[in-house]
């Protein structure tokens, strides 16, 4: 089950998951942006009574940008990330979903069907990738 996260105080599981998708020092700032921004939303993937995945997006009309996506290390490889993206596709009428990622996550997006474009070395020694999924 996927739920919208809208509590002013972040659940410890959400803080932990967001730390996988951004630096631990930025978690509170990132979380606050999701709660306060009208065009950003954060969702949690529930298994039993535990939040084991999260996806944060910025929505601009028919375009969705995945800002953060994370799955608990013990649950990775079970299709949870794909289920969260499919949830967005079913819930909204997007024409495309985009994300920017690093080498570690680019294969996840490629397997889902995103078109991958290298952005080169955006930071010293770190290649970044633009990922785009067109919805027809």
Contact predicate 110/132, CB 8 Å: no
pLDDT of 84-122, one tens digit each?
999 999 999 899 999 999 998 999 999 999 999 999 888
Domain ranges of the chain: 2-98
Chain centroid to CA 61: 18
Domain spanning 2-98 has what CATH number?
Answer: 3.40.630.30
CA dist 26 and 9 (Å) reads 15
DSSP string computed for 71-100: E-GGGTTSSHHHHHHHHHHHHS--SEEEEE
Strand 50-60 vs strand 40-47: parallel, antiparallel, or unpaired? antiparallel
Do residues 16 and 10 lie in contact, with contact meaning Cβ atoms separated by under 8 Å?
no
Tens digit of pLDDT for each residue in 56-82?
999 998 999 999 999 999 999 999 999
pTM attached to this predicted model: 0.91
């Amino acid at each position: 089950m996927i739920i919208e996260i809208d509590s002013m105080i972040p659940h410890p599981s959400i803080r932990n998951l967001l730390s996988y998708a951004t630096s631990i020092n930025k978690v509170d700032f990132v979380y606050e942006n999701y709660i306060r921004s009208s065009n950003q939303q954060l969702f949690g993937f529930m298994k039993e009574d535990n939040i084991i995945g999260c996806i944060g997006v910025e929505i601009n009309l028919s375009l969705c940008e995945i800002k953060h996506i994370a799955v608990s290390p013990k649950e990775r490889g079970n299709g949870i990330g794909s289920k969260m993206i499919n949830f967005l596709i079913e819930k909204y009428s997007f024409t495309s979903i985009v994300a920017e990622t690093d080498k570690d996550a680019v294969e996840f997006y490629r397997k889902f069907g995103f078109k991958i474009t290298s952005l080169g070395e955006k930071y010293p020694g770190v290649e970044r990738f633009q990922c785009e999924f067109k919805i027809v």
